[in-house]
Amino acid sequence: MPKQPGGQRLRLPLEWLGILPFMIFAVLFLILPTMKIVIGAFQTPDGSFTLQNLIDLNTDSIRNAYWTSIKLSFATALLGCAIGFAMASAVVFGGLPKGVRNPLVTFSGVASNFAGVPLAFAFIATLGPVGLVTVWLRTEFGINLRAMGFNLLSFWGLVVTYLFFQIPLMILIIIPALDGLKREWREAAAVLGATGAQYWRMVALPILFPSLLGTFALLFANAFGAVATAFALTGPQLNIVPIKLFAQIRGDVLGNPNLGYALAFGMIVITALANFLYIWLRVRSERWLK
Protein backbone atom coordinates (compact mmCIF):
# COMPACT_ATOMS: atom_id res chain seq x y z
CA MET A 1 0.00 0.00 0.00
CA PRO A 2 1.20 3.59 -0.61
CA LYS A 3 2.46 5.49 2.40
CA GLN A 4 1.60 8.98 3.58
CA PRO A 5 4.45 11.45 4.25
CA GLY A 6 4.32 10.58 7.95
CA GLY A 7 4.97 6.92 7.25
CA GLN A 8 1.36 5.73 7.78
CA ARG A 9 -0.19 3.49 5.17
CA LEU A 10 -3.21 4.66 3.22
CA ARG A 11 -6.18 2.34 3.59
CA LEU A 12 -9.23 2.51 1.39
CA PRO A 13 -12.45 1.84 3.30
CA LEU A 14 -13.80 -1.63 2.60
CA GLU A 15 -17.18 -0.05 1.82
CA TRP A 16 -15.75 1.08 -1.53
CA LEU A 17 -15.40 -2.56 -2.57
CA GLY A 18 -19.18 -2.83 -2.58
CA ILE A 19 -19.58 -0.28 -5.36
CA LEU A 20 -16.51 -1.38 -7.31
CA PRO A 21 -18.49 -3.72 -9.64
CA PHE A 22 -20.92 -0.89 -10.39
CA MET A 23 -18.08 1.53 -11.12
CA ILE A 24 -16.45 -0.95 -13.48
CA PHE A 25 -19.77 -1.58 -15.19
CA ALA A 26 -20.44 2.16 -15.55
CA VAL A 27 -17.01 2.82 -17.05
CA LEU A 28 -17.18 -0.07 -19.52
CA PHE A 29 -20.78 0.27 -20.67
CA LEU A 30 -21.64 3.94 -20.10
CA ILE A 31 -18.65 6.27 -19.91
CA LEU A 32 -16.40 4.69 -22.56
CA PRO A 33 -19.21 4.20 -25.14
CA THR A 34 -20.35 7.78 -24.57
CA MET A 35 -16.82 9.06 -25.11
CA LYS A 36 -16.59 6.95 -28.27
CA ILE A 37 -19.81 8.52 -29.58
CA VAL A 38 -18.79 12.08 -28.76
CA ILE A 39 -15.32 11.67 -30.30
CA GLY A 40 -16.68 9.83 -33.35
CA ALA A 41 -19.17 12.63 -34.04
CA PHE A 42 -16.20 14.93 -34.79
CA GLN A 43 -14.17 12.47 -36.86
CA THR A 44 -14.00 11.31 -40.45
CA PRO A 45 -13.75 7.58 -41.27
CA ASP A 46 -9.94 7.93 -41.34
CA GLY A 47 -9.89 9.55 -37.85
CA SER A 48 -9.24 13.19 -38.72
CA PHE A 49 -11.18 16.05 -37.11
CA THR A 50 -14.27 17.41 -38.90
CA LEU A 51 -17.50 19.28 -38.26
CA GLN A 52 -19.14 17.88 -41.38
CA ASN A 53 -21.00 15.18 -39.44
CA LEU A 54 -22.82 17.81 -37.39
CA ILE A 55 -23.43 19.91 -40.51
CA ASP A 56 -24.97 16.85 -42.19
CA LEU A 57 -27.59 16.73 -39.44
CA ASN A 58 -29.17 19.80 -41.03
CA THR A 59 -30.97 17.85 -43.75
CA ASP A 60 -34.72 17.52 -44.26
CA SER A 61 -34.76 13.81 -43.44
CA ILE A 62 -32.79 14.14 -40.21
CA ARG A 63 -34.61 17.29 -39.08
CA ASN A 64 -37.92 15.51 -39.63
CA ALA A 65 -36.61 12.50 -37.68
CA TYR A 66 -35.69 14.69 -34.71
CA TRP A 67 -39.02 16.52 -34.89
CA THR A 68 -40.99 13.25 -35.05
CA SER A 69 -39.01 11.87 -32.09
CA ILE A 70 -39.66 15.04 -30.10
CA LYS A 71 -43.40 14.91 -30.86
CA LEU A 72 -43.53 11.21 -29.96
CA SER A 73 -41.66 11.78 -26.69
CA PHE A 74 -43.79 14.82 -25.81
CA ALA A 75 -47.08 13.00 -26.49
CA THR A 76 -46.14 9.89 -24.50
CA ALA A 77 -44.70 11.95 -21.64
CA LEU A 78 -47.81 14.15 -21.45
CA LEU A 79 -50.28 11.27 -21.61
CA GLY A 80 -48.14 9.16 -19.29
CA CYS A 81 -48.02 11.95 -16.70
CA ALA A 82 -51.78 12.63 -16.90
CA ILE A 83 -52.92 9.00 -16.71
CA GLY A 84 -50.26 7.94 -14.22
CA PHE A 85 -51.04 10.90 -11.95
CA ALA A 86 -54.74 10.06 -11.99
CA MET A 87 -54.06 6.42 -11.13
CA ALA A 88 -51.57 7.28 -8.38
CA SER A 89 -53.96 9.85 -6.87
CA ALA A 90 -56.77 7.29 -6.86
CA VAL A 91 -54.54 4.85 -4.98
CA VAL A 92 -53.15 7.34 -2.46
CA PHE A 93 -56.19 9.58 -1.83
CA GLY A 94 -59.12 7.72 -3.38
CA GLY A 95 -61.43 5.21 -1.84
CA LEU A 96 -59.73 2.19 -3.36
CA PRO A 97 -58.97 -0.74 -1.03
CA LYS A 98 -55.54 -0.63 0.58
CA GLY A 99 -54.71 -3.98 -1.01
CA VAL A 100 -54.69 -2.39 -4.47
CA ARG A 101 -51.57 -0.28 -3.87
CA ASN A 102 -48.95 -2.99 -3.45
CA PRO A 103 -49.97 -4.99 -6.56
CA LEU A 104 -50.12 -1.77 -8.61
CA VAL A 105 -46.64 -0.69 -7.47
CA THR A 106 -45.25 -4.18 -8.12
CA PHE A 107 -46.78 -4.30 -11.59
CA SER A 108 -45.50 -0.80 -12.33
CA GLY A 109 -41.98 -1.82 -11.37
CA VAL A 110 -42.13 -4.69 -13.87
CA ALA A 111 -43.99 -2.87 -16.66
CA SER A 112 -41.73 0.20 -16.55
CA ASN A 113 -38.83 -2.06 -17.62
CA PHE A 114 -40.81 -4.14 -20.13
CA ALA A 115 -39.80 -2.96 -23.61
CA GLY A 116 -38.10 -4.05 -26.79
CA VAL A 117 -39.13 -7.01 -28.93
CA PRO A 118 -41.33 -8.68 -26.25
CA LEU A 119 -43.40 -5.52 -25.82
CA ALA A 120 -43.74 -5.05 -29.58
CA PHE A 121 -44.85 -8.67 -30.01
CA ALA A 122 -47.37 -8.34 -27.16
CA PHE A 123 -49.01 -5.31 -28.79
CA ILE A 124 -49.01 -6.86 -32.28
CA ALA A 125 -50.71 -9.95 -30.84
CA THR A 126 -53.23 -7.74 -29.03
CA LEU A 127 -53.89 -4.66 -31.20
CA GLY A 128 -52.31 -5.63 -34.51
CA PRO A 129 -54.34 -6.10 -37.72
CA VAL A 130 -55.33 -9.63 -36.61
CA GLY A 131 -54.70 -9.10 -32.90
CA LEU A 132 -56.91 -10.56 -30.20
CA VAL A 133 -58.64 -7.32 -29.22
CA THR A 134 -58.87 -6.11 -32.83
CA VAL A 135 -60.64 -9.27 -33.98
CA TRP A 136 -62.85 -9.39 -30.87
CA LEU A 137 -64.08 -5.81 -31.34
CA ARG A 138 -64.78 -6.43 -35.02
CA THR A 139 -66.66 -9.72 -34.56
CA GLU A 140 -68.56 -8.93 -31.36
CA PHE A 141 -69.32 -5.21 -31.72
CA GLY A 142 -68.71 -4.41 -35.36
CA ILE A 143 -65.93 -1.96 -34.43
CA ASN A 144 -63.22 -1.92 -37.09
CA LEU A 145 -60.18 -0.19 -35.68
CA ARG A 146 -58.46 -0.12 -39.07
CA ALA A 147 -61.48 1.53 -40.69
CA MET A 148 -61.52 4.09 -37.88
CA GLY A 149 -57.95 5.05 -38.76
CA PHE A 150 -56.05 3.26 -35.98
CA ASN A 151 -52.88 1.54 -37.14
CA LEU A 152 -50.52 0.05 -34.59
CA LEU A 153 -47.62 0.43 -37.02
CA SER A 154 -47.90 4.23 -37.04
CA PHE A 155 -47.10 7.27 -34.89
CA TRP A 156 -50.17 6.92 -32.64
CA GLY A 157 -49.75 3.16 -32.51
CA LEU A 158 -46.25 3.73 -31.16
CA VAL A 159 -47.66 6.25 -28.67
CA VAL A 160 -50.09 3.63 -27.34
CA THR A 161 -47.26 1.09 -27.09
CA TYR A 162 -44.92 3.48 -25.27
CA LEU A 163 -47.63 4.27 -22.72
CA PHE A 164 -47.31 0.70 -21.45
CA PHE A 165 -44.01 1.62 -19.79
CA GLN A 166 -44.49 5.39 -19.46
CA ILE A 167 -47.58 5.20 -17.21
CA PRO A 168 -46.01 2.72 -14.71
CA LEU A 169 -42.85 4.85 -14.54
CA MET A 170 -44.99 7.89 -13.71
CA ILE A 171 -46.80 5.93 -10.98
CA LEU A 172 -43.55 4.79 -9.37
CA ILE A 173 -42.13 8.32 -9.25
CA ILE A 174 -45.21 10.33 -8.28
CA ILE A 175 -46.55 8.11 -5.47
CA PRO A 176 -43.78 9.17 -3.03
CA ALA A 177 -44.48 12.81 -3.89
CA LEU A 178 -48.19 12.33 -3.18
CA ASP A 179 -47.34 10.61 0.09
CA GLY A 180 -45.33 13.73 0.99
CA LEU A 181 -48.43 15.94 0.98
CA LYS A 182 -49.13 16.48 4.65
CA ARG A 183 -52.60 15.92 6.04
CA GLU A 184 -52.29 19.16 8.02
CA TRP A 185 -52.20 21.19 4.81
CA ARG A 186 -55.56 19.80 3.67
CA GLU A 187 -57.08 20.24 7.11
CA ALA A 188 -55.85 23.84 7.28
CA ALA A 189 -57.32 24.55 3.84
CA ALA A 190 -60.65 23.05 4.90
CA VAL A 191 -60.70 25.13 8.10
CA LEU A 192 -60.18 28.25 6.00
CA GLY A 193 -63.15 27.29 3.84
CA ALA A 194 -61.36 25.91 0.78
CA THR A 195 -63.12 23.28 -1.29
CA GLY A 196 -61.37 20.16 -2.51
CA ALA A 197 -60.84 21.72 -5.94
CA GLN A 198 -59.42 24.89 -4.39
CA TYR A 199 -57.05 22.86 -2.21
CA TRP A 200 -55.67 21.05 -5.24
CA ARG A 201 -55.46 24.23 -7.35
CA MET A 202 -53.93 26.52 -4.72
CA VAL A 203 -51.98 24.17 -2.42
CA ALA A 204 -51.33 20.65 -3.67
CA LEU A 205 -50.60 21.24 -7.35
CA PRO A 206 -48.21 24.19 -6.78
CA ILE A 207 -46.25 22.00 -4.33
CA LEU A 208 -46.30 19.03 -6.71
CA PHE A 209 -45.54 21.10 -9.81
CA PRO A 210 -41.73 20.61 -9.67
CA SER A 211 -42.22 16.85 -9.28
CA LEU A 212 -44.74 16.75 -12.13
CA LEU A 213 -42.57 18.80 -14.46
CA GLY A 214 -39.46 16.84 -13.50
CA THR A 215 -41.20 13.52 -14.11
CA PHE A 216 -42.43 14.83 -17.46
CA ALA A 217 -38.81 15.58 -18.39
CA LEU A 218 -37.74 12.09 -17.31
CA LEU A 219 -40.53 10.43 -19.32
CA PHE A 220 -39.57 12.57 -22.31
CA ALA A 221 -35.96 11.38 -22.11
CA ASN A 222 -37.11 7.79 -21.56
CA ALA A 223 -39.20 7.81 -24.75
CA PHE A 224 -36.66 9.75 -26.81
CA GLY A 225 -33.96 7.14 -26.25
CA ALA A 226 -36.13 4.06 -26.80
CA VAL A 227 -35.08 2.20 -29.93
CA ALA A 228 -35.75 -1.54 -29.62
CA THR A 229 -39.51 -1.23 -29.25
CA ALA A 230 -39.87 1.25 -32.12
CA PHE A 231 -37.69 -0.76 -34.50
CA ALA A 232 -39.34 -4.08 -33.62
CA LEU A 233 -42.83 -2.59 -34.05
CA THR A 234 -42.55 -0.33 -37.09
CA GLY A 235 -39.18 -1.18 -38.65
CA PRO A 236 -37.96 1.55 -41.01
CA GLN A 237 -41.51 2.80 -41.70
CA LEU A 238 -41.42 5.53 -39.04
CA ASN A 239 -38.80 8.25 -39.42
CA ILE A 240 -37.50 8.74 -35.88
CA VAL A 241 -33.95 9.32 -34.69
CA PRO A 242 -33.24 5.90 -33.08
CA ILE A 243 -34.28 4.05 -36.26
CA LYS A 244 -32.27 6.43 -38.45
CA LEU A 245 -29.31 5.95 -36.11
CA PHE A 246 -29.58 2.17 -36.40
CA ALA A 247 -29.60 2.47 -40.20
CA GLN A 248 -26.28 4.34 -40.11
CA ILE A 249 -24.33 2.05 -37.76
CA ARG A 250 -25.63 -1.41 -38.68
CA GLY A 251 -22.55 -1.99 -40.86
CA ASP A 252 -23.81 -2.17 -44.46
CA VAL A 253 -22.21 -0.27 -47.32
CA LEU A 254 -24.88 2.46 -47.27
CA GLY A 255 -24.28 3.32 -43.64
CA ASN A 256 -22.15 6.17 -42.31
CA PRO A 257 -21.02 5.32 -38.76
CA ASN A 258 -19.69 8.81 -38.08
CA LEU A 259 -23.01 10.36 -39.09
CA GLY A 260 -24.57 7.82 -36.74
CA TYR A 261 -22.28 9.07 -33.97
CA ALA A 262 -23.47 12.62 -34.71
CA LEU A 263 -27.10 11.49 -34.50
CA ALA A 264 -26.35 9.77 -31.19
CA PHE A 265 -24.52 12.88 -29.98
CA GLY A 266 -27.65 14.95 -30.65
CA MET A 267 -29.72 12.41 -28.72
CA ILE A 268 -27.27 12.58 -25.82
CA VAL A 269 -27.57 16.38 -25.69
CA ILE A 270 -31.39 16.31 -25.71
CA THR A 271 -31.72 13.52 -23.13
CA ALA A 272 -29.03 15.08 -20.93
CA LEU A 273 -30.94 18.38 -20.86
CA ALA A 274 -34.16 16.56 -20.00
CA ASN A 275 -32.48 14.58 -17.22
CA PHE A 276 -30.75 17.68 -15.84
CA LEU A 277 -34.14 19.40 -15.68
CA TYR A 278 -35.59 16.36 -13.90
CA ILE A 279 -32.80 16.26 -11.29
CA TRP A 280 -32.98 20.01 -10.64
CA LEU A 281 -36.77 19.97 -10.23
CA ARG A 282 -36.62 16.82 -8.10
CA VAL A 283 -34.28 18.57 -5.66
CA ARG A 284 -36.65 21.54 -5.48
CA SER A 285 -39.69 19.34 -4.88
CA GLU A 286 -37.96 17.34 -2.14
CA ARG A 287 -37.10 20.63 -0.42
CA TRP A 288 -40.79 21.56 -0.43
CA LEU A 289 -41.98 18.17 0.82
CA LYS A 290 -39.59 17.96 3.80
Q: List, for residues 29-77, the tens digit of each pLDDT value.
A: 889 988 999 999 999 888 899 999 999 999 998 999 999 999 999 999 9
Task: Give residue 18's pLDDT band: very low, low, confident or very high (50, 70, 90).
Answer: confident
Q: pLDDT at residue 6 above 60? A: no
Q: Give the model's confidence band at 109: pLDDT under 50 very low, under 70 low, under 90 confident, else very high.
A: very high
Look up the pTM and report it. Answer: 0.85
Q: How many CB atoms neighbour CB 150 within 10 A?
A: 14
Phi and psi torsions of 9, nearest 5°: -80, 140
Residues 144, 138: contact at Cβ < 8 Å?
A: yes
Q: How many residues does the chain have?
A: 290
Burial class from Cβ neighbours inside 10 Å (0-12, 13-18, 19+) for residue 227 reads middle
Q: Using an 8 Å Cβ cutoff, are 229 and 153 in contact?
A: no
Contact 264, 184 (CB under 8 A): no
Query: pLDDT tens, 178-223?
Result: 988 888 888 888 888 888 889 888 888 888 888 898 899 999 999 9
Q: How does the average pLDDT of the chain come out, rounded?
A: 86
State the fold for domain 23-116+167-289.
MetI-like fold (1.10.3720)
CA of 122: how far to CAs of 134, 156, 161, in Å?
13, 16, 9
Least confident of 14-18, 169-173, 184-188: 14-18
